[in-house]
Amino acid sequence: MASNDQRTIEPFFQQTFEEPEEADVPEKFPAERFNTAPVEQRLLVDVYEDENNLYIRSPLPGIKPEDLDINIDGEILTIQGIHHADLTAVADNFFCQECDWNNFSRSIVLPVPVIGDKISAGLTNGVLTLTVPKANH
């Protein structure tokens, strides 16, 4: 007689390791299988500090400075931008689509009070670097 654990586990293994039916195997990999993170999470950032400033870095390859909008509202820093991509391939022709060509936005709660009107920004080699002075210095 099989134990309770065996009866619970056996259906799992049967479903997991049995050969898929032909209809279950996609002809191509749909983009949504790879790109599941919400838009807000797709813009990666590093936030670090020294005695006087906060620094925010983000990789933004292919983005021009005029396509960026950076705002500070109280303790919230928001980076928004527009991708201008020339996608000549039709969506049905992709085998795998991992690049996100949508507009993007990321809001960050800053860990300390800052002087928002003194922020400086640079975009060099596809990396955005923000320098945000701390308010208490």
Residue 125: its pLDDT value, please?
94
pLDDT tens profile 101-112: 778 889 999 999
How many domains does the chain contain in total?
Answer: 1
> How far apart (Å, rounded) are the C-alpha atoms in residues 119 and 115?
7
- CATH label of the domain that carries residue 27: 2.60.40.790
Compute the mean pLDDT over every residue in the chain, rounded to the nearest whole number.
77
Q: Buried (b) or exposed (e) across 118-136, using 16+ Cβ within 10 A?
A: ebeeebeeeebebebbbee
Q: Name the residue range of residue 99's domain.
A: 4-133
pLDDT band at 136 (very low <50, low <70, confident <90, very high): confident
Q: Does the pLDDT at position 88 exceed 90?
A: no
Q: Does the pLDDT at position 37 exceed 50?
A: no
pTM of the predicted model, to two decimals?
A: 0.65
Helix H, strand E, coil C: the string for the chain is CCCHHHHHHHHHHHHHHCCCCHHHCCCCCCHHHCCCCCHHHHCCCEEEECCCEEEEEEECCCCCHHHEEEEEECCEEEEEECCCCCCCCCHHHCCCCCCCCCCEEEEEECCCCECHHHCEEEEECCEEEEEEEECCC
